[in-house]
Chains A and B, each alone.
Chain A
Amino acid sequence: MSVSRHSPARSVAAHAVLLTYTLIALFPVFVIVINAFKSRKAIFAHPLALPNAETLDWVGFKTVLKQGDFFQYFLNSMTVTVGSLFFVLLFGAMAAFALSEYRFKGNTMVGLYLALGIMIPIRLGTVAILQLMVASGLVNTLTSLVLVYTAQGLPLAVFILSEFMRQVSDDLKNAGRIDGLSEYRIFFRLVLPLVRPAMATVAVFTMIPIWNDLWFPLILAPAESTKTITLGSQVFIGQFVTDWNAVLAALSLAILPVLVLYLIFSRQLIRGITAGAVK
């Protein structure tokens, strides 16, 4: 029976399918990045060739850095992402601790209420969110984006973190209580350090959609000084549509930071997806 499972032909077929799909997944990204380093002539003459000494040209990157205020956009994206992440993790972990640690009236109700946001997308409330932000004078501020993304990230964060917090040993927490630690200290000193891996997972999950979002930056903060990198590159590429060097360079600049971050955190992300799905 093990013959059929481990036959070389099956293994070759498996690798063939996976390699084909890996090629499909990576090829477009590869073509964009190599062409960003080539001269305009070479881009059109030999789109699939690697850049060499003759065709190497940085003109696209120079245009991007000169024209768009990409450094500012990048800072804005960082501020929004890190700010939202901080509040999602802090508030999410606190709520998850309350829901998984204490029995109280309405525990299940609060849990279900928060879980509603996993299924119903926050975008459907956009019309009223914009009114709210106009009324509170937060339009075209990064604060408005941080608030929206915090609300958007909380449901899933609470859901995943409370699963993990149920696994923290009761003995440890009770030992802390006997030693006279307050509930706050038990949470911050004992529980939080123990769920750090789960926090990292939630962080990666929360981060990607925030960094990549186009809808809310477009609607709530389209001003030049508050553009995120996603909106900034969208507008830039729209304006420079015929300058292929600049477009390819802008795309590469948008891809590379995310790619580097992903390769650093991919293990955490994959562990998180697998752990979350098993439950």
Chain B
Amino acid sequence: MSDRKPFRWHIVVFLAPAVLVYTAIMIIPLFATLNLSLFTTVDRVSQFNGLGNFRTLFGDPRWSASFWNALGNNTWFFIVHMLVQNPIGILLAAILSNPRLRGAAFYRTAIFIPTILSFVVVGFVWKLMLSPIWGVAPDLLNAVGLKSLFAPWLGKEEYALTTLALISVWQFVGIPMMLIYAALLSIPDEVIEAAEMDGITGASQFWKIKLPLILPSIGIISILTFVGNFNAFDLIYSAQGALAGPNFATDILGTFLYRTFFGFQLQLGDQNMGAAIATAMFFIILIGVCIYLFAIQTRLRRYQF
């Protein structure tokens, strides 16, 4: 083949910039970080330490308590998203996709607005809204006669994490809504008409006909939520600071990584331990992605129209 054709340099020219930047800034640092987690710094000299950092991370009670706390909190953060964000997103999409609904474009645009705001804005907006000093939240609860339910949610250990997860749900509900909406719109009319001929309409039409058809999209949303949640940092950092208070009740892997890497208060930053936590996060995300790719995606039947 190479006898007939000259080497096609233009392919290299087209691919090179993207591949070079991506490799240099993303892939090499990623592997360098994995590598760093195998070293330790003694008197400013880097030494090979094998899996020692991981032994410290999982074995040393001070480290492992923080790690499992962060992982547990992160898991709860993810569960709240799966149980609240995705069902609400699917419900809104199912209503929006009705072709006879008026004002769908308005609702779509409005409900997506929180998603475009930065975490910093969202974190502080909700901090103010829920502040016991300002009283917007107690006033609103008072108006519906539920004032006794009010508590300084962000300040209480038992409520803070769930509150932050719900704030994050508030921000991101637009994404599952849009993706499911798109999937529902792509169901051909003939399928819906056939269902109606058989007398399947309304809610049962949704459960029996549409839901099985959009399962692949629900799978994609789940894995996007998983990667996003186990990589989250900004919202907690803006609302609760690097210490993820009260008493680390809202500490997740992202804030734990930040504190370890940069240090806080009296503890010095430790880049090797930071790298070890990043490596642990890498494997957690990798396991999630692999479960999705091999166990879930291959079992979901895709319908070709």
By a beta-carbon cutoff of 8 Å, the part of chain A in contact with chain B is 1-2, 4-6, 10-11, 14-15, 17-18, 21-22, 24-26, 28-29, 31-32, 43-44, 47-48, 87, 90-92, 94-95, 97-99, 102, 104, 110, 113-114, 116-117, 119-129, 131-132, 147-148, 150-152, 154-155, 158, 182-184, 187, 208, 211-215, 219, 230, 233-234, 237, 244, 247-248, 251, 254-255, 258-259, 262-263, 266, 269-270, 273-278
Taking A47-B139, A148-B25 as known contacts, 8 extra A-B pairs with beta carbons closer than 8 A to each other, sorted by chain A number, are: A22-B110, A44-B135, A110-B19, A184-B13, A237-B120, A255-B121, A277-B178, A278-B182
Contact of A102 (CB < 8 Å), options: B11, B21, B129: B11
Tell me if A278 and B25 are in contact (CB < 8 A): no
Tell me if A212 and B278 are in contact (CB < 8 A): no
Tell me if B261 and A127 are in contact (CB < 8 A): yes
Specify which chain A residues have a CB less than 8 angstroms from the CB of B121 in the assembled complex.
233, 251, 254-255
Specify which chain B residues have a CB less than 8 angstroms from the CB of A4 in the assembled complex.
201-202
Contact of A154 (CB < 8 Å), options: B22, B128, B135, B186: B22
Specify which chain B residues have a CB less than 8 angstroms from the CB of A244 in the assembled complex.
128, 134
Tell me if B28 and A258 are in contact (CB < 8 A): no
> Which 5 residue pairs are nearest across A and B when measured between Cβ atoms?
A125-B29, A212-B118, A128-B32, A151-B25, A95-B18
Name which residue of chain B comes closest to A212, CB basis.
B118
Tell me if B92 and A151 are in contact (CB < 8 A): no
Specify which chain A residues have a CB less than 8 angstroms from the CB of B113 in the assembled complex.
25-26, 29, 259, 262
Specify which chain A residues have a CB less than 8 angstroms from the CB of B289 in the assembled complex.
119-120
Given A25-B111, A125-B33, A273-B182, A151 contacting B227 (CB threshold 8 A): no
Q: Does B271 contact A (CB under 8 A)?
A: yes
Secondary structure of the A side of the interface?
A: helix
Question: Contacting chain A: which of B54-62, B79-87, B146-154, B231-239?
Answer: B231-239
**Chain B: minimal CB distance from A43 (Å):** 8
Interface size class, chain B: 35 or more
**Chain B: minimal CB distance from A112 (Å):** 12
What is the CA–CA distance of A203 and B32 in the complex, to the nearest angstrom? 30
Tell me if A98 and B15 are in contact (CB < 8 A): yes
Name which residue of chain B comes closest to A47, CB basis.
B136
Specify which chain A residues have a CB less than 8 angstroms from the CB of B124 in the assembled complex.
237, 247, 251
